[in-house]
């Protein structure tokens, strides 16, 4: 106490501001209260200078908000925030959110594609918001939104949006079963519902690349550019080693995923610079998975090489391997990633890049795979991230984008289901009709409870070949292609006449999903696609559907709530509004016919089982 008093007296004499924590301690000391900052536990995440992580708001206990002031130590030679530093902050915020939900340590398992829209300068503030979208068995998806704030002008701008998967770990690295997460707001319900689709897309990501490579020509065709000499890919190769120290690790002694990503970004930038002899800008990081942990004391070997250079961008492949001090075992593969760089001119436009000459063998394989990944990235970004008002209704279907069209089909329906402003428009006996009015779309849903098991209703309603048995608008539905067990493409002929006085036809992708967890509905989603084998015919007017389908919720073992959703296209709008206004009962009659169809076929099934 005497020593503290002398220190305080000296600070007062020298006009030094006394920290508030010290004053609180002095004021409360006689009552046994101490408000001095606690010592940081060993391995606890340390906040960087200028950092502030806020507690979660009352509505969502997993939400973490972090604000970071960009200091010179965080930037590159241009005074812009290093992408590696941003990745560390993203991983830290996401991990904090995951651990809030799990109540135990969590490790980064994977990160989805990240597209960086803008750079951030010294003095600006990075705002990161992370929250758990959905918890599965032992893994969870965390959604991250990153923006920057200019303190002088007050301007806010989005930087990127990311999705990370974390795994909860118990003692000795054992997996922990997670408690389910209950979404509250409309936005949270949408993210919670679509998280299951994103998880499905991650699991088939490698297979999508393999399928595309199998169908692509085996020969490597090098691009030619006027006045450009190809640079041997070997000249861009980089290898570097990093020693994992305690500040690089979490409370379990495992290296932070964000730290590994930062080291990988560093060597990738060097490889890209060796090709273009300029300072490149990172534009995107491909979806990647951590294959195993590394610990304090490990040596991480990081390798990078330019796989392919397109006209205005290049792909750099990066690999991280670990070995211990004794090198008693072979190197462990920790992670691989693919990063897309551009070189910007003074106007901020991408410059034309030199060509790359791959080495025979593995170099040619990487060259071909980079071209395939570019196509997949474009498909994924175009189909998955597009807004319906910015693209044609019918997207061309092929093997390379089948996963992303299926994702878009189901997620669009789930987003429509999760909307909060549905209004009851009509009710006739057991059938209820709701509408949702938005700026550009009028959507409707019709629902009723049916005495049938949800799984059986799902099986019957997902087969469009039987739709004409209860829907008078359907003349026929031909199965054009069985994509897989969950996705089918049909050619549908409708008796509804168009303004040209011709019947309409559709090419429809039907995507089926069984419940991912308790409380999820069975989903059958429909959307229009185009197929080269089924072009528009002079005999029909080609129609399109934006988003429609069924959701079936089990109410009991033998009772289900069946709901049909449709986002009306302009050609269908008059028919919708006529039913909404009560000038027609076609919708209700069709849905009643649907109920009779389900009940009839349920009884047929029971009779067949009894015969067996």
Average pLDDT over residues 66-93: 92
Positive/negative CA dihedral, 274, 277, 279, 281: negative
Q: What are phi and psi of 450, to 5 degrees?
A: -130, 140
pLDDT at residue number 604: 66
Read off the pLDDT band of 133 (50, 70, 90): very high
Say whether pLDDT at 33 is over 70: no
User: What percent of the chain shows pLDDT beyond 70?
Assistant: 80
pLDDT tens for 206-239 read 777 777 777 666 555 555 555 567 899 999 999 9
What is the residue-averaged pLDDT of the chain? 83
Say whether pLDDT at 582 is over 90: no
pLDDT at residue number 612: 45
Say whether pLDDT at 558 is over 50: yes
CA distance 536 to 331: 56
What would the two tokens of residue 612 be? 């067996």
Domains, the chain, ordered by start = 61-191 (3.10.129.10), 229-388 (3.10.129.10), 390-609 (3.30.530.20)
- CA 40 vs CA 45, 92, 464: distances in Å: 9, 16, 62
For 324-473, list the strands marked E by DSSP: 332-342, 356-357, 395-396, 423-428, 431-437, 442-450
The string of DSSP codes covering 23-69 is: HHHHHHGGGT---SPPPPPTTPPPPPTTEEEEPPPTT-TT-EEEEEE
Q: Which residues are registered as beta bridge partners of 110?
A: 165, 289
In this predicted model, which residue has the larger pLDDT, 500 or 275? 275
User: What percent of the chain shows pLDDT beyond 90?
Assistant: 48
CB 450 within 8 A of CB 603: no
CA distance 592 to 606: 21
pLDDT tens for 233-286 read 999 999 999 999 999 987 778 898 999 999 999 999 999 999 999 999 999 998
Taking the model in full, what pTM does it have?
0.75
In this predicted model, which residue has the larger pLDDT, 608 or 399? 399
Average pLDDT over residues 490-504: 83
Residue 123 Rama label (left phi>0; alpha psi -120 to 50; beta): left
CB 475 within 8 A of CB 503: yes
CA angle 579–580–582, rounded 5-degree value: 65
- Alpha helices, DSSP H, located in 388-476: 402-417, 454-461
């Amino acid at each position: 106490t005497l020593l503290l008093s002398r220190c305080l007296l000296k600070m007062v004499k020298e006009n030094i501001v006394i920290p508030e924590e010290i004053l609180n301690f002095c004021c409360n000391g006689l009552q046994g209260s101490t408000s001095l900052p606690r010592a940081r536990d060993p391995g606890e995440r340390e906040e960087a200078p200028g950092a502030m992580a806020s507690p979660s708001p009352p509505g969502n206990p997993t939400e973490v908000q972090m604000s970071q002031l960009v200091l010179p130590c965080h930037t590159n030679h241009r005074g812009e925030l290093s992408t590696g530093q941003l990745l560390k902050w993203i991983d830290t915020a996401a991990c904090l959110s995951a651990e809030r939900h799990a109540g135990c340590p969590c490790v980064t398992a994977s990160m989805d594609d990240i597209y960086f829209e803008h750079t951030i300068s010294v003095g600006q503030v990075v705002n990161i918001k992370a929250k758990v979208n959905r918890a599965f068995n032992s893994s969870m998806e965390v959604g991250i939104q990153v923006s920057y704030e200019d303190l002088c002008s007050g301007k806010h701008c989005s930087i990127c949006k990311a999705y990370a998967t974390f795994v909860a770990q118990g003692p000795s690295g054992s997996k922990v079963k997670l408690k389910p997460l209950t979404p509250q707001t409309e936005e949270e319900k949408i993210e919670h519902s679509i998280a299951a689709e994103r998880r499905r897309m991650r699991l088939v990501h490698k297979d999508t690349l393999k399928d595309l490579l199998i169908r692509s020509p085996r020969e490597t065709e090098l691009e030619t550019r006027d006045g450009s000499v190809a640079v041997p890919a070997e000249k861009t190769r980089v290898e570097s080693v990093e020693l994992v120290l305690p500040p690089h690790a979490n409370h379990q002694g495992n290296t932070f995923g964000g730290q590994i990503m930062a080291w990988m970004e560093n060597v990738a930038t060097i490889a890209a610079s060796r090709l273009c002899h300029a300072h490149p800008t990172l534009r995107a990081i491909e979806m990647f998975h951590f294959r195993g942990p590394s610990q304090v004391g490990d040596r991480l070997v990081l390798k990078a090489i330019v796989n392919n250079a397109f006209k205005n961008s290049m792909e750099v492949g990066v690999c991280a391997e670990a070995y211990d001090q004794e090198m008693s075992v072979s190197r462990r593969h920790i992670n691989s990633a693919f990063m897309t760089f551009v070189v910007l001119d003074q106007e901020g436009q991408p410059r034309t890049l030199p060509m790359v000459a791959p080495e025979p063998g593995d170099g040619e394989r990487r060259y071909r795979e980079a071209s395939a990944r570019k196509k997949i990235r474009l498909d994924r970004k175009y189909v998955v991230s597009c807004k319906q008002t910015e693209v044609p209704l019918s997207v061309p279907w092929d093997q390379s984008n089948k996963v992303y069209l299926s994702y878009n089909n189901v997620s669009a329906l789930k987003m429509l289901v999760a909307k909060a402003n549905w209004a009851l428009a009509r009710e006739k006996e057991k059938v209820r009709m709701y509408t949702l009015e938005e700026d550009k779309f009028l959507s409707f849903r019709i629902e009723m409870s049916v005495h049938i098991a949800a799984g059986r209703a799902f099986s019957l309603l997902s087969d469009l070949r039987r739709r004409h048995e209860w829907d008078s608008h359907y003349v026929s539905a031909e199965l054009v292609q069985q994509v897989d067990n969950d996705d089918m493409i049909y050619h549908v002929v409708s008796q509804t006449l168009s303004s040209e006085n011709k019947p309409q036809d559709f090419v429809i992708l039907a995507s089926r999903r069984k419940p991912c967890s308790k409380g999820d509905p069975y989903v059958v989603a429909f959307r229009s696609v185009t197929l080269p084998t089924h072009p528009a015919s002079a005999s029909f007017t080609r129609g399109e559907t934006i988003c429609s389908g069924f959701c079936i919720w089990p109410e009991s073992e033998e009772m289900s709530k069946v709901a049909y959703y449709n986002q009306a296209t302009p050609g269908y709008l008059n028919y919708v509004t006529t039913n909404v206004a009560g000038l027609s009962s076609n919708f209700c009659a069709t849905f009643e016919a649907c109920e009779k169809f389900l009940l009839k076929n349920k009884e047929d099934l029971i009779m067949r089982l009894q015969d067996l």
